[in-house]
Amino acid sequence: MPSIFRTRVQRAAFHRDHHRQSLLDIYRISSSTSDSRAQTIDDTPADLILTALTPSTPTSSSPSPHSSRLYSSSTEVLLGITGKDFTIVAASKAAMRGATILKASDDKTRALNSHSLMAFSGEAGDTIQFAEYIQANIQLYSMRNAMDLSPSATANFVRGELARALRSRKPYTVNLLLGGYDQITDKPSLYWIDYLASLAPLPYAAHGYAQYYCLSILDKHHHPDITFEQGMKILRMCTDELKRRLPVDFKGVLVKVITKDGIREEEYADDHSVACP
Amino acid sequence: MASVFAGAPPNGAPGYSFAQTPTAAPAGIREHSFYPYTDNGGSTLGISGADFSILAGDTRSTSGYSINTRYAPKLFKIGGEGPESKGARIVLSVVGFAADGEALKERLDTIVKMYKYQHGKPMSVAACAQRLSHILYGKRFFPYYVTAILGGLDEEGKGALYSYDPVGSYEREQCRAAGAAASLIMPFLDNQVNFKNQYIPGSGEGHALQQRVPEPLPRKDVEELVKDAFTSAVERHIEVGDGLQMMIITKDGIEEIYEELKKD
Amino acid sequence: MGSPFSINGGACVAMVGKDCVAIACDLRLGMQALTVSNNFPKIFPYGDVYLGLTGLATDVSTVSDLFRYKVNMYRLREERPISPQTMANLVSSTLYERRFGPYFVSPVVAGINHTTGKPFICGFDSIGCIDFAKDFIVSGTASDQLFGTCEGLWEPDLAPEDLFETVSQALLNAVDRDALSGWGAHVYIIEKDKVTKRLLKGRQD
């Protein structure tokens, strides 16, 4: 096998990012294309790098980068419901790494400013890295301008950053829900953003497998001017269905609510068992 | 269809449809295999009326970007006497792999004739339609690579039209387009024959708005529709053109019309 | 995963009439077979010029945002609105800048040139090759179906109301035969001194 990391850029990348999947991507790119720039021979032994790669690649056939990535993010649950004067955002509490649950009280959300909340799922390192980068920038905006960015502006900023990263050397594999309350129009809002940076404003949304179980329930029961209590009732129907049908235990959901008064955590009991027919 | 026959065409071999992309031959060990199918392009369509059925097909035959011939009929009379198929009351149209189409036509023709000799009466279209389904399904694991449409008159004298997939799944319909330009023609037919997305003006608000009810069209209108559909398809699809063959089945027999289409 | 052009689905069509043009799009946004949103318009108005974008949803947003910026900058610098012809060349050169890493979109431009008063439509491939058409332009996952319906229904010199009916029927019937498009439509009828935007419900499946 010839030297894999040939260019200076790629070598620097190796030292910066310790995530193995990203290395796989670089490996795929540099090995599949005969790059004319790749003339400067690297002094890093190729075998050494390959050794670092192999543990994450199961056996001989190398899987597509998406199949292994999306698996864990698909079993993570993100749900969002808007109503008359509120937005509910729910995120599963399990922090998973392969088949192992590392934590049962994980918070997959970050408050961006007083009235917008971002929930995230996806590849382990990317999620928090991206979320906190966004959080810092939105907060910086609030400090500099002495006013908050509106939810729609926030959503478009987040999308822009994710889209920019998408065409960079190392894209973020992160799915997002942006719940907010627009204080100017006095309306709740919810934005759905996937890892390709597709942005859709929606009345209710989900990510991962939760989409297949919950969207149909929401299609049937949701209405734009439901009350908060009705919203929670629909959320309960969704989480019960997930408990019933998802093959993995997602350790319940953490529920946050955004209203005109700001963001608050909502008590959500998930110790009851759900009967499966 | 890919699920039915997963074998890819051999590399660099000529004469495949545009849907299949022949890739460059890989270096090293080369495996030779025989791919038994070719796509000869072209399109067919059928529309049934109150007392008639029309089947139509273009007459171009292609292999890749080449034209084999400008006159290769895709419409066949079934169960008639002699080389002219005298007295036939059923028409079969086949599009896809022309050799399979020809073989299928021969088989069905023989069966319908044998039926007449053995039972002393002509086969009904419904019976013929079901028989065709069985023929196709009989080759479930080495299918006739064709999309068939069968037309005739039912026992009440109404226009009857049956459409098939290559392995024999079939359905009686008002209209159907098949072949290379099916995706172009079918939505046009939905609109013009079954009046899809057409509403009666002023008949109500929102969900109360009345849909325009489809009714069998007069023969003249249908003929015009068929010609429009094909001249449209010829403009935008390179595998369709040269000639338009139409067969109109009425109680008086089968009338055949041939018209020129663009040859570019 | 298939082609980037057909992950999200969508369709767009533009047509020329007598002293008017029409541009219409569907509203679906999906991820393969799953429909995520039924309110994702693919036509973006930039003053007098209208841009339709189908293809990868993320690039639809990126490219529409980029052109909003570029058209605004053009108007500020030139102190006049952009003409459809100039817009066409702007789209073409912008897309070709990304020749070896394209935006996965198939744009359509429609508008009336206010200097000549003539209707103008054109389409592009993802790297900016312009298709100037006198009749109609189609794009998206239902482009085959749209070619069929437009070729069958369109005729020259349609009046605005007739053009609306023609473009709507062409789009609605085309997307009903495409699993990745549909869920309602937006239709713009652009005349010299008037633009009418209509929302069509269409089949919700």
Q: Nearest 5°: CA angle at B82, between B76 and B86? A: 65
**Domain for residue A272, yes or no?**
no
Q: What is the pTM of this model?
A: 0.86
Could you tell me the residue range of the domain that residue A115 belongs to?
Answer: 65-266
Residues of chain B neighbouring C149 (CB-CB closer than 8 A): 187-188, 191
Are residue A70 and residue A196 in the same domain, yes or no?
Answer: yes
Residue B165 distance to chain C (closest CA, Å): 17
Are residue A125 and residue A216 in the same domain, yes or no?
Answer: yes
Are residue A187 and residue A153 in the same domain, yes or no?
Answer: yes
Are residue A31 and residue A90 in the same domain, yes or no?
Answer: no
Q: Which pLDDT score, from 0 to 100, does residue B30 have? A: 77
Are residue A120 and residue A45 in the same domain, yes or no?
Answer: no
Residue A63 distance to chain C (closest CA, Å): 13
Are residue A104 and residue A221 in the same domain, yes or no?
Answer: yes
Identity of the amino acid at B185: I
Residue C192 phi, psi dihedral angles, 5° rounding: -55, -50
**Domain for residue A275, yes or no?**
no
Longest dimension (CA), chain C: 46
Q: What is the DSSP string of A51-96?
A: HHHGGGS-SSSPPPHHHHHHHHHHHS-EEEEE-SS-EEEEEE--EE
How many separate domains does chain A show?
2
**Domain for residue A2, yes or no?**
no
Q: Specify the DSSP class assigned to residue A196.
A: T
Would you state the structure tokens that stand for residue A200, as one six-digit string? Answer: 């859709």
Report how far residue A113's alpha carbon sits from residue A129's, in angstroms, rounded to the nearest whole number: 17
- Average pLDDT on B145-150 reads 98
Are residue A172 and residue A39 in the same domain, yes or no?
Answer: no
By the 8 A CB rule, do A200 and A213 touch? no
Q: Which pLDDT score, from 0 to 100, does residue B31 have? A: 77
Residues of chain C neighbouring B198 (CB-CB closer than 8 A): 169
Are residue A180 and residue A250 in the same domain, yes or no?
Answer: yes
Cβ contact, residue pair C169, B191, below 8 Å: yes
**pLDDT tens for residues C143-177?**
999 999 999 999 999 999 999 999 999 999 999 99
Indicate the Cα dihedral angle B211, B217, B220, B221, nearest 10°.
20
Q: How far is CA B201 from the centre of its chain?
A: 35
Cβ contact, residue pair B184, C144, below 8 Å: yes
Cβ contact, residue pair C151, B190, below 8 Å: no
Indicate the Cα dihedral angle B30, B31, B37, B42, nearest 10°.
-20
Give the residue from C5, C29, C37, C104 with the most A CB atoms within 10 Å of its CB, the best one to mutate.
Answer: C37
By residue count, chain B amounts to 264
Among A66, A198, A215, the residue with its CB nearest the CB of C57 is A198
Q: Which domains does chain B have, with CATH numbers?
A: 43-256 (3.60.20.10)
**pLDDT tens for residues B189-240?**
999 999 999 999 999 998 899 999 999 999 999 999 999 999 999 999 999 9
Indicate the SS3 state at residue C16: strand
Would you state the structure tokens that stand for residue B231, as one six-digit string? Answer: 């001249």
- A164: CATH: 3.60.20.10
Q: Specify the DSSP class assigned to residue B27.
A: S
Q: Nearest 5°: CA angle at B186, between C179 and C2? A: 35
By the 8 A CB rule, do B185 and B45 touch? yes
Interface confidence (ipTM) of the complex: 0.96
Q: Which pLDDT score, from 0 to 100, does residue B19 have? A: 54
Report how far residue A266's alpha carbon sits from residue A255's, in angstroms, rounded to the nearest whole number: 5
Q: Which pLDDT score, from 0 to 100, does residue C114 have? A: 95
Overall CATH class of domain C4-193:
alpha beta
Cβ contact, residue pair C34, A212, below 8 Å: yes
Among B188, B196, B197, the residue with its CB nearest the CB of C148 is B188
Q: Is B228 on the interface with C (CB under 8 A)?
A: yes
Q: Residue holding tokens 């790494």?
A: A97
Are residue A195 and residue A105 in the same domain, yes or no?
Answer: yes
Question: Tens digit of pLDDT per residue, chain A (277 long)?
Answer: 444 443 434 434 444 444 434 433 433 333 333 333 333 334 444 443 333 333 233 333 433 444 444 456 788 999 999 999 999 999 999 999 888 999 999 999 999 999 999 999 999 999 999 999 999 999 999 999 999 999 999 999 999 999 999 999 999 999 999 999 999 999 999 999 999 999 999 999 999 999 999 999 999 999 999 999 999 999 999 999 999 999 999 999 999 999 999 999 999 998 899 998 8
- b/e burial code for range A82-117 (CB count within 10 A of at least 16 → b): bbeebbbbbbbbbbbeeeebeeeebebbbbbbebbb
- Average pLDDT on C88-93 reads 98
**Domain for residue A188, yes or no?**
yes
Q: Nearest 5°: CA angle at B144, between B81 and B240? A: 85
**Domain for residue A3, yes or no?**
no
C171 to chain B: nearest residue by CA?
Answer: B187
Are residue A182 and residue A220 in the same domain, yes or no?
Answer: yes
Residue B27 distance to chain C (closest CA, Å): 26
Interface of A with C (CB under 8 A): 66, 156, 159-160, 163, 166-167, 192, 194, 196-202, 205, 211-212, 215
